Amino acid sequence: MMADAGVKEVICNEDIDIIFCAENKHKPNMEYETFLNMLPKLAMEASTDAKKNKKDSLDNFIRDYLFPLYDKIKDSSEFGVDDEKIREPLDENIIMVLFSVHNVLCKIY
């Protein structure tokens, strides 16, 4: 993921691996909460600012690396198509049909 996001251009593999192992306690897979805890450390490491404000570093890291990765995934996969379909407005007829069967669907579910 870090390679796809372009982070390896500013942080070497060894530093990423050290942060990963320290946060993940040498487990092969990472839980979401662990990933969230690791982000500020990666952001501080990637920061080129000498003062290294933690909040600003994290904001820049997300803006510069994670948002572009999200856009790349969205544009190159069916995820982006599904996301756009979900955002389309619903037809009034569909809303009326769903409203009329709502109670029955709730009982079935």
pLDDT tens digit string along 4-28? 899 989 999 999 999 999 999 888 8
- Residue 60: exposure state from Cβ atoms within 10 A (0-12, 13-18, ≥19): middle
Looking at this protein, which amino acid is placed at residue 89? P
45: tokens are 């490491």
Closest CA to 74 of 89, 66, 29: 66
Does 80 have pLDDT greater than 70?
no
Q: What is the pLDDT of residues 36-65, one digit of tens each?
A: 999 999 999 998 776 778 888 999 999 999
Kindly report the pTM of this predicted structure.
Answer: 0.65
SS3 1: coil
CB atoms within 10 A of CB 80: 15
Looking at this protein, which amino acid is placed at residue 95? I
How far apart are alpha carbons 69 and 64 in whole angstroms?
A: 9
Closest CA to 4 of 75, 57, 58, 73: 73
Block residue for tokens 């990472």: 30
Give pLDDT, residue 88. Answer: 80
63: tokens are 């803006």
